[in-house]
Amino acid sequence: MIEPLSAAAVAWVCAVFLAAGFVKGVVGMGLPTVAMGLLAVTMAPAEAATLLLIPSLVTNLWQLSTGPSFGGLARRLWTMMAGVVIGTVAGAGLLTGAHTAAASGALGVALMLYAFLGLAKAGFSTPPRHEALLSPLVGVATGLVTGATGVFVIPAVPYLQSLRLGREELIQALGLSFTVSTAALAIGLFRAGALASPTAGLAGSVAALAPALAGMAVGQALRQRMSVETFRKVFFAGLLALGFYLMAEAAF
């Protein structure tokens, strides 16, 4: 049973989700990792995960709904999304296993390498004729990584970027992927009995939603003022920071 949060804890949770929402608004991702990393300082992971569920789902839905081409992206990426659901639900129990730290550390290294390549402009592209084969495979792989680490970005983010989408299309595609991943992870963890009581954490999760949305709105406004090149640099810098955090957390 999750105990009611004190006034100081509520203030801390609001500050955490304001910062996490801002990061997500700017680069299109990072809310779960930023929030979990900061909340873990003061509470158990199960409690933090319960607080995270509603802000993560709602901000991803917002990100998904405000882009320019939801219908086209949904038709193009539906096999990837199906793979995400299958892989995440199947692998959700891995998140509570003995090797979670090692998996997170390896994921951090992979993210850092990808970010370095992106900053060096050594990216790759996926030809349209290969998407039918690669999309479901990438989806299942992303789901399994999500099940092991709780992080949604590998290999989904490199793959989506390889499709050479426009800036706002990429942000919307990330929103689609993360929305599906969040919902699938919640279902998988609930089935595995790995979530704290949803009823006990509901009030705190709802309270965390407002600062997350406020931070995201500010971050989105800032992103829309950026040039494409500035956004590219910020995007990869965000991936680099995320990878470093995951690696450091696993090491220490």
Provide the residue ranges of all domains of the chain, joining segments of one domain with +: 7-251
Q: Distance between CA atoms of 2 and 203, rounded to whole angstroms?
A: 11
User: What's the mean pLDDT when you consider all of the chain?
Assistant: 84
Cβ count within 10 A of residue 221: 11
Does the pLDDT of residue 5 top 80, yes or no?
A: no
Cβ count within 10 A of residue 193: 8
Contacts 24+ apart (CB under 8 A), 231-237: 231/167, 232/118, 233/119, 234/26, 234/27, 235/27, 235/28, 235/118, 236/115, 236/118, 236/119, 237/115, 237/119
Supply the pLDDT for residue 251: 79
Instruction: With beta carbons less than 8 A apart as the criterion, state whether 118 and 239 touch.
Output: yes
Mean predicted confidence (pLDDT) in 19-35: 87
Does the pLDDT of residue 246 top 90, yes or no?
A: no
Supply the pLDDT for residue 197: 56
| 241, two tokens | 């920071």
Does the pLDDT of residue 130 top 90, yes or no?
A: yes
Supply the pLDDT for residue 200: 47
Does the pLDDT of residue 133 top 90, yes or no?
A: yes
Supply the pLDDT for residue 121: 78
| Complete DSSP assignment for 135-172 | HHHHHHHHHHHHHHHS---TTHHHHHHHTT--HHHHHH
Verdict on whether the full-model pTM lies above 0.85: no
Give the CB-side neighbour count of residue 29, counting CA atoms within 13 A. 29
Summarize pLDDT for 140-159 with one digit per residue, the tens. Answer: 999 988 887 777 888 998 99
Higher pLDDT pick, 218 / 194 = 218
Summarize pLDDT for 63-95 with one digit per residue, the tens. Answer: 988 878 899 999 999 999 999 999 988 887 776
pLDDT category at 195 given cuts 50, 70, 90 is low
Supply the pLDDT for residue 85: 95
Q: Distance between CA atoms of 9 and 163, rounded to whole angstroms?
A: 42
- Of 97, 18, 6, the closest CA to residue 43 belongs to 6
Mean predicted confidence (pLDDT) in 31-59: 79
In what helix (H) or strand (E) does residue 127 lie, and over which residues does it extend? none
Summarize pLDDT for 196-245 with one digit per residue, the tens. Answer: 555 545 677 888 999 999 999 999 999 889 888 898 888 889 889 888 88
- Of 52, 9, 12, the closest CA to residue 30 belongs to 52
- Of 212, 217, 171, 223, the closest CA to residue 64 belongs to 171
Angle at CA of residue 94, ends 92 and 95, nearest 5°: 80
Higher pLDDT pick, 9 / 138 = 138
Q: Distance between CA atoms of 102 and 184, rounded to whole angstroms?
A: 23
Does the pLDDT of residue 96 top 70, yes or no?
A: no
Supply the pLDDT for residue 214: 96
